[in-house]
C-alpha cells in the first residue's frame, strides 16, 4: 500500500516531477519507423506529458522538435517538410532538425532577430523505433543497443498499442508473474474447463514462488512453478525504467522473446512498444492474432489505440465464460483490459500486496532508489549499461546451480 504522495511520485512523469526527471535520463521511443519511412512524413508525438513533432526531411534525416512553433505557437505537425527542415504554415519560419531558425518569411532579411532557436532533440532509428533523448545534454548516455535490434527484420514484429491508463499499471502487470496462469487461463491452462489440451509447462501451478536479485540494469525475477515433470523457472529482467523481456517458453515458443517498453505518453496514457523476435520468420498477422489485437473492436491498426475503455464491459463475452476464463481473447488484450479497468491512475492507497507481489514492490523500490541517486548527483541505475547483454529464459529449474547462471548477462546490482 502506498500513500497518495508516494503513488503520485511513482506515477507522474511530467517535466517538473521527480519520476519525470528520472525518465529524462534514458533514451525513449517516440514513434514507430513504419509511420515515418517516407521523406516528408511528419507526426505529432506526445511523450512524458510534452508535445513534439517528429519529421523526416526531404534529405531523409529525422528530426524531433517541440511541437509548438517558437514564434506564436502553431503546431509544426501541420508544417511543410522541406529539404533538411520543417516550415511553419502560419508565418513561414523554417527550422532545421537541429533547431536552428533557417528562414523567417514575415520579416525583412536585415531585421532577423539573433539567437532564436527551437528546442531540438537527438534521434536514433533502431529496431523499427524512433528513439529520442529529452534530458540534460551533458547527461546524455550512449544509445542503448538491445539484442532485438540486430535480429533480421523478418524475424521481428513491432506493435505499438496506446492504452488509457498510467504506465505503472501496465508495467506492474508485466512484472506480476502470478497472474499469468490465472488471468491467461485459456492460454496457460486450456484444460481448466475440461478441454483435452494439456496445461502449458508448469502453468497449473497458480502460486509460483519468487526470487529477485538486483542487477546493474534493474533486476531479475525468477518465478518457480512445480509441474508434473519437475520444477520450471521463468527468469525475467526488469530493465530500468520501463522495459522487460518475456521468454516465449512453452507458451509462445522457446526460441522466441518479447521485449516490451511501457512508454508514458502522459500521466494517464501509455504507449506500449512490444517487439516479438526470435530465430524464425514471424508475420504481423500472426502477432496480431496471438495478442488478440486482430479484433477491430478492441484495437485500431490505424491510430494504434486500444479501444476498450473503463466500464466498457459490453465488450466482455460473458456468454462464453464457462469455456473462456476472461471473456476476452488474447494474452495482450487481457493484460490491457485489466490495466485499463484500474482507472487512469490506479489508487494504490487501497491495495493489499502479498508475497506473490514481490516483483511489484521491488520495481517501485528500484525506481525510488534511482530518484534518490539523481538527488545525490549519481546516475540512475542502468544508464550506460550494455543492454545487449540482457536475456530472459523459461526452462527447467536447475538442480545443481543457481538460476542466475541461466542468464549470463546477470551483472549483480550496484548498491542503492
Contact of residue 91 among Fe ion, ligand FES, none (CB under 5-8 Å per partner type)? ligand FES
Q: What number of chain residues touch Fe ion (CB under 5 A)? A: 1
CB of 15 to ligand FES, least distance (A): 22
Q: Which residue is at the shortest CB distance from Fe ion?
A: 335
Contact of residue 74 among ligand FES, Fe ion, none (CB under 5-8 Å per partner type)? ligand FES
CB of 20 to Fe ion, least distance (A): 27
Binding mask 51-80 for ligand FES (x = CB under 6 A): ------------------x-xxxx------
CB of 332 to ligand FES, least distance (A): 40
Residue 355 three-state SS: helix
Q: What number of chain residues touch ligand FES (CB under 6 A)? A: 10
User: DSSP alpha helices (H): ranges in 72-208?
Assistant: 167-174, 180-183, 185-188
Q: How far apart, in whole angstroms, are the C-alpha atoms of residue 385 and residue 197?
A: 43
**Parallel, antiparallel or unpaired: strands 50-56 and 120-121:** unpaired
Contact of residue 335 among Fe ion, ligand FES, none (CB under 5-8 Å per partner type)? Fe ion
Nearer to Fe ion, 205 or 335 (CB): 335
Contact of residue 299 among Fe ion, ligand FES, none (CB under 5-8 Å per partner type)? none
Residue 148 three-state SS: helix
> Which helix or strand (DSSP H or E) is residue 333 part of?
helix 331-341
Phi, psi dihedral angles at 194 (to 5 degrees): 90, 5
Q: Which of 249, 301, 264, 50 is nearest to 165 (CA)?
A: 264
Category of 249 on φ-ψ map: left (φ > 0), alpha (ψ -120 to 50) or beta:
left
DSSP string, 189-222: -GGGGT-SSPPSTTTT--S-EEEEEEETTEEEEE
Among the residue ranges 88-96, 178-186, 202-210, 391-399, the one whose residues contact ligand FES (CB under 6 A): 88-96
Residue 239 three-state SS: strand
DSSP string, 36-72: S-STT-EEEEEETTEEEEEEE-TTS-EEEEESB-TTT
Nearer to ligand FES, 93 or 242 (CB): 93
CB of 114 to ligand FES, least distance (A): 17
Contact of residue 71 among ligand FES, Fe ion, none (CB under 5-8 Å per partner type)? ligand FES
Residue 103 three-state SS: strand
Contact of residue 88 among Fe ion, ligand FES, none (CB under 5-8 Å per partner type)? ligand FES
Contact of residue 245 among ligand FES, Fe ion, none (CB under 5-8 Å per partner type)? none
Asked if residue 95 binds ligand FES (CB under 6 A), the reply is no
Asked if residue 262 binds Fe ion (CB under 5 A), the reply is no
Q: Write the CB contacts of 235 (distance below 8 Å, at least 6 apart in sequence).
A: 220, 221, 222, 247, 392, 393, 394, 403, 404, 406, 407
CB of 90 to ligand FES, least distance (A): 4
CB of 246 to Fe ion, least distance (A): 9
Asked if residue 99 binds ligand FES (CB under 6 A), the reply is no
Q: How far apart, in whole angstroms, are the C-alpha atoms of residue 148 and residue 157?
A: 10
Asked if residue 42 binds ligand FES (CB under 6 A), the reply is no
Asked if residue 116 binds ligand FES (CB under 6 A), the reply is no
Q: Which of 21, 90, 126, 295 binds ligand FES (CB under 6 A)?
A: 90
Distances (CA, A) of 192 to 2, 62, 281: 35, 50, 32
Among the residue ranges 159-167, 334-342, 345-353, 397-405, the one whose residues contact Fe ion (CB under 5 A): 334-342
Contact of residue 414 among ligand FES, Fe ion, none (CB under 5-8 Å per partner type)? none
Q: Which of 237, 255, 253 is nearest to 245 (CA)?
A: 237
* Strand runs labelled E in 79-155: 80-82, 85-87, 94-95, 101-103, 120-121, 123-126, 129-132
CB of 167 to Fe ion, least distance (A): 16
CB of 57 to ligand FES, least distance (A): 17
Nearer to ligand FES, 81 or 171 (CB): 81
Contact of residue 90 among Fe ion, ligand FES, none (CB under 5-8 Å per partner type)? ligand FES
Residues for the chain: how many in total? 416
Positions in 335-364 near Fe ion (CB under 5 A): 335
Distances (CA, A) of 85 to 45, 50, 63, 115: 17, 21, 8, 18
CB 171 within 8 A of CB 363: yes
Interface contacts to Fe ion, rule CB under 5 A: 335
Interface contacts to ligand FES, rule CB under 6 A: 69, 71-74, 88, 90-93
Amino acid at each position: 500500500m502506498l500513500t497518495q504522495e508516494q503513488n503520485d511520485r511513482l506515477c507522474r512523469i511530467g517535466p517538473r516531477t521527480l519520476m519525470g526527471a528520472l525518465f529524462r535520463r534514458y533514451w525513449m521511443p517516440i514513434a514507430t519507423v513504419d509511420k515515418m519511412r517516407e521523406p516528408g512524413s511528419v507526426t505529432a508525438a506526445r511523450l512524458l506529458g510534452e508535445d513534439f513533432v517528429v519529421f523526416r526531411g526531404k534529405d531523409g534525416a529525422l528530426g524531433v522538435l517541440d511541437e509548438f512553433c517558437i514564434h506564436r505557437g502553431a503546431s509544426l505537425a501541420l508544417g511543410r517538410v522541406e529539404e533538411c527542415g520543417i516550415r511553419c504554415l502560419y508565418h513561414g519560419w523554417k527550422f532545421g532538425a537541429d533547431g536552428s531558425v533557417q528562414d523567417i518569411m514575415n520579416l525583412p532579411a536585415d531585421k532577423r532577430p539573433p539567437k532564436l532557436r527551437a528546442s531540438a532533440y537527438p534521434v536514433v532509428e533502431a529496431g523499427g523505433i524512433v528513439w529520442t533523448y529529452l534530458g540534460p545534454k551533458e547527461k546524455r548516455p550512449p544509445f542503448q543497443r538491445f539484442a532485438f535490434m540486430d535480429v533480421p527484420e523478418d524475424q521481428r514484429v513491432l506493435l505499438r498499442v496506446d492504452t488509457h491508463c498510467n504506465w505503472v499499471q501496465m508495467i506492474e502487470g508485466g512484472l506480476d508473474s502470478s497472474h499469468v496462469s490465472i488471468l491467461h487461463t485459456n492460454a496457460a491452462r486450456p484444460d481448466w474447463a475440461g478441454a483435452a489440451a494439456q496445461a502449458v509447462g508448469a502453468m497449473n501451478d497458480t502460486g509460483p514462488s519468487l526470487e529477485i536479485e538486483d542487477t546493474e540494469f534493474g533486476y531479475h525475477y525468477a518465478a518457480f512453478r512445480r509441474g508434473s515433470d519437475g520444477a520450471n523457472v521463468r527468469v525475467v529482467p526488469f530493465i530500468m525504467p520501463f522495459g522487460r523481456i518475456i521468454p516465449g517458453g512453452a507458451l509462445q515458443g522457446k526460441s522466441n522473446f518479447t521485449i516490451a517498453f511501457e512508454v508514458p505518453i502522459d500521466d494517464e496514457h501509455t504507449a506500449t512498444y512490444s517487439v516479438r523476435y526470435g530465430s524464425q520468420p514471424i508475420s504481423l498477422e500472426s502477432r496480431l492474432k496471438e495478442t488478440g489485437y486482430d479484433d477491430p473492436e478492441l484495437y485500431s491498426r490505424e491510430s494504434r489505440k486500444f479501444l476498450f475503455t473503463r466500464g466498457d464491459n459490453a465488450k466482455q463475452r460473458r456468454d462464453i465464460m464457462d469455456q473462456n476464463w476472461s471473456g476476452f481473447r488474447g494474452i495482450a488484450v487481457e493484460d490491457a483490459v485489466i490495466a485499463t479497468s484500474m482507472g487512469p491512475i490506479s489508487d494504490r492507497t487501497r491495495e493489499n500486496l502479498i508475497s506473490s507481489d514481490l516483483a511489484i514492490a521491488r520495481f517501485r523500490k528500484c525506481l525510488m532508489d534511482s530518484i534518490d541517486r539523481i538527488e545525490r548527483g549519481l546516475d540512475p541505475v542502468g544508464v550506460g549499461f550494455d543492454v545487449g547483454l540482457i536475456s530472459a529464459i523459461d526452462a527447467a529449474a536447475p538442480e545443481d546451480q543457481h538460476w542466475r547462471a541461466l542468464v549470463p548477462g546477470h551483472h549483480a546490482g550496484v548498491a542503492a
